[in-house]
Amino acid sequence: MKYLLLLALAASLAPAQEKIDADANSRIRREAKEHSQVMQTAHVITDRFGGRLTGSPSHEAAAKWAAARLTEWGLQNAKLEPWDFGHPGWSTERSTGFLLTPAKDTLTFEVLSWTPSTKGAVRAAAVQIVPPEKVTAEELKTYLATVKDKVKGRIVLVGKVKVVPVSFAAGPGKRSDDATLKRRFDNANPQEFQRPEPPKPEPGKLTARQIDEQVDAFLVASKALVRVNDAAREHGQIRAFNNRTFDVAKAVPTVVLRNEDYGRIDRLLADGDAVTLEFDIRNSVYAPGKTSYNVVAEIPGTDKADEVVILGGHLDSWHAATGATDNAIGSAVMMEAARILQALQLKPRRTIRVALWSGEEQGLLGSKAYVKQHYGTFENPKAEYAKLAAYLNCDTGTGRIRGASVFGPPEAGKVFREALAPFADLAVAGATASKTRREGGSDHTSFSVTGLPGVGLATDMIEYMTHTWHTNLDTYERLVPEDAVQSSTVVAALAWHLANRDQMVPRFSKETMPAPPPPPLPAPKS
């Protein structure tokens, strides 16, 4: 009898096991496998709307379509929630570029966003300037004065070509190593991902961004026709971001030229050849884009309807391609997870909300605006702060989900670990808890920085950091359909579990909440 009492006492003290809804999981698996629409959704987002730059007409059109499609599937309260982007939108309509002398060829490039059009087709001699690095404002000014007469009326290559060595590695990123994942999600010794600290500027020296902006101002004042930057990547990959001022008057028409073309022109100029180039670039500024939008829609809850589980990813992308792996597929997965639950007519206790952000690529702006409006922070919460059960984020490429990291105490990690355990056969490795309130990486950190349970879903980063992330190769063809089906299955089941638990996901208490990160250091003056 004494032995039985001890067993009963031990059982009462042991942490409660998660109640897994095996029947719902089975139905979710079947619906996801037999009736998936995730690739159709990804196709429409990428192929119909193309690159979805924040503030652009293409992003706004994609957002309206997503809200309509979610409504068509039966979700409620679908709407576009506005937030102030603070800049007019921008889009590029067409662009061509050619090498005319000493040989004839077509150039491969992408236009830098928030830069102006050329005045029709412009043809001019190419020249090259190489601004020094790690200089003071006065040193840069002195250098630019020496090349002022060189750039007027010219097409200007800025910087020496980057030598990109031939790679002898096995190939681009593929499946994650199982042993590495096991260590990452080891409950006894979790390996929390830490983003590297950004480099601190040298005292008195200009940052790379400041040098770039001053070179832009110099080229505008000196009446250069076009600025040409080196993409500095292998195999024709191009990453084209934006004029950091978002003001087309503060830059000349600017392109990012593939490394192979830039290197050819660099070598010809070094030989003393007269190189003639032609560019015809047509961009437009979209004034209504100053207001951007997040898409939200819901499956209403029942007895705990005021508590919410959010499934999210960013709908915006860069403009060099169609933003397939970053992040049309993440948006499509979250939409599909909601579609699965709605198609099965499952009625969650908590409300399940889909949120598709804009402004992620410019600094998590849409999700930060949403969190600020609805939740506040742990130190200064709004009424809804206590009602968010968890925010699940999908944004690391086309690969299948392998695990989760939740901002919260170890007990929160346990909830996710046990909820994901039934999907070990789908290669899900586990879950861990995080105590990092640093912002950055993706939209889940907009939640965790405020103390809310933001959840980053870790995926196999297939060709992501090597080939597709932010490049001109990020298209539908790089998506893996079977991985998208797996991810949709896992997200739908996880959302269903979190929406039906008796208790919310455990959070840090007032005594254990990690301190918020310090505010960023002010940029050094130019």
**SS3 per residue for 142-188:** HHHHHCHHHHCCCEEEECCCCCCCCCCCCCCCCCCCHHHHHHHCCCC
Q: Residues, the chain, total?
A: 526
Give the contacts of 30 (CB within 8 A, at least 6 positions apart): none
Give the contacts of 138 (CB within 8 A, at least 6 positions apart): none
Q: What sign for the dihedral angle of Cα 65, 66, 70, 76?
A: negative
φ, ψ at 240 (rounded to 5°) = -120, 115
Write the single-letter amino acid at 93: E
What is the structure's pLDDT at 20? 97
Whether 522 has a pLDDT exceeding 60, the answer reads no
Structure tokens at 495: 């959302």
522: closest CA among 108, 131, 200, 43? 200
Whether 5 has a pLDDT exceeding 60, the answer reads no
In terms of pLDDT, which residue wins out, 7 or 438?
A: 438
Whether 51 has a pLDDT exceeding 90, the answer reads yes
Q: Are 362 and 512 in contact (CB under 8 A)?
A: no
Q: Are 371 and 294 in contact (CB under 8 A)?
A: no
- CA distances to 22, 103, 126, 169 from 273, rounded to whole Å, are 72, 11, 10, 36
175/167 Cα distance (integer angstroms): 19
Write the single-letter amino acid at 159: G
Average pLDDT over residues 20-47: 98
Q: pLDDT tens digits, residue range 291-345?
A: 999 999 999 999 999 999 999 999 999 999 999 999 999 999 999 999 999 999 9
The string of DSSP letters for 413-439 reads HHHHHHHHGGGGGGT--EEEEE-----
16/519 Cα distance (integer angstroms): 39
297 membership: H or E segment, kind and range: strand 291-299
Confidence of residue 12 (pLDDT cuts 50, 70, 90): very low
Which residues are bridge partners to 24 per DSSP?
none
What is the structure's pLDDT at 191? 62
What is the structure's pLDDT at 135? 94
Q: pLDDT tens digits, residue range 458-474?
A: 999 999 989 999 999 99
What is the structure's pLDDT at 192? 61
- Indicate the DSSP class of residue 54: T
Confidence of residue 9 (pLDDT cuts 50, 70, 90): very low
For residue 450, the Cα-to-chain-centroid distance in whole angstroms is 19
* Residue position matching structure tokens 């192929």: 47
94/145 Cα distance (integer angstroms): 34
Confidence of residue 519 (pLDDT cuts 50, 70, 90): confident
465/258 Cα distance (integer angstroms): 18
Whether 143 has a pLDDT exceeding 60, the answer reads yes
Which residues are bridge partners to 156 per DSSP?
127, 227
Q: What is the pTM of this model?
A: 0.93
Whether 10 has a pLDDT exceeding 50, the answer reads no
Helices (H), 424-522: 444-448, 481-500
Q: What is the mean pLDDT of the chain?
A: 93
Average pLDDT over residues 173-191: 75
Whether 141 has a pLDDT exceeding 60, the answer reads yes
60/365 Cα distance (integer angstroms): 16
Confidence of residue 520 (pLDDT cuts 50, 70, 90): low
For residue 345, the Cα-to-chain-centroid distance in whole angstroms is 31
Q: pLDDT tens digits, residue range 206-230?
A: 999 999 999 999 999 999 999 999 9
Q: pLDDT tens digits, residue range 485-503?
A: 999 999 999 999 999 999 9
Whether 3 has a pLDDT exceeding 50, the answer reads no
399: closest CA among 495, 493, 487, 494? 487
- φ/ψ region of 375 (left if φ > 0, alpha if ψ in -120 to 50, else beta) reads alpha
The string of DSSP letters for 379-426 reads SSB-GGGGGEEEEEE--S-SSPEEEEEEES-HHHHHHHHHHHGGGGGG
Average pLDDT over residues 493-518: 96
73/69 Cα distance (integer angstroms): 6
Whether 525 has a pLDDT exceeding 70, the answer reads no
147/442 Cα distance (integer angstroms): 41
Q: Are 153 and 223 in contact (CB under 8 A)?
A: yes
Count of helices and strands (H, E) across the chain: 14, 16
